[in-house]
Amino acid sequence: MISKISHLGIAVKDLKSAAETYRKLLQSEPSEMEFVAEQKVNVVKFKIGESTIELLEGTSPDSPISKFIEKRGEGIHHIAYESDDVRTDLKRLDENGFELINKEPRTGSDNMLIAFVNPKSVGSVLTEICQH
């Protein structure tokens, strides 16, 4: 079952510069940078209450984040909802007609299980379902 908003993913060209901007904006220190090889992305996080802001920088031109920035520019990339059982939620969404990008979860940042729902199914918003 989906229980809360986990995080907002924001695509950025320059992670160091963006982290400094968000540090000043949120008056908070960022996490250490994490490299997620499977996604070809560097990630820095800011904890805000129960949610997190993820700044995402592509590490190669074929990274999903790099492609997103090339097509749409920097900005909000996705919203992630936390699930207590991502596989059950994916099955439920599939049965309810949502187009899944990932039918099976894969490993994301912080070793979370993650899967994405096609934006066409959710009002043009890339949606992630994640589980710690």
Q: Where is average pLDDT lowest: 19-23, 82-86, 100-104, 108-112?
A: 108-112
Q: Which domain holds residue 18?
A: 2-131
Contacts of 105 (CB under 8 A, 6+ apart): 86, 87, 90, 113, 114, 115, 129, 131
The string of pLDDT tens digits covering residues 22-54 is 999 999 999 999 999 989 999 999 999 999 999
| 11 in Cβ contact with 75 (< 8 Å) | yes
Residue type, 57: E
CATH number of domain containing 14: 3.10.180.10
The pTM of the full predicted model, rounded to 2 decimals, is 0.92
Contacts of 5 (CB under 8 A, 6+ apart): 50, 51, 79, 80, 81, 82
Confidence grade of residue 14 (pLDDT, cut at 50, 70, 90): very high
Q: How many domains does the chain have?
A: 1
Spatial distance between the Cα atoms of 5 and 122, rounded to a whole number of angstroms: 15
Please provide residue 119's backbone torsions phi and psi, each rounded to the nearest 5 degrees.
Answer: -55, -30
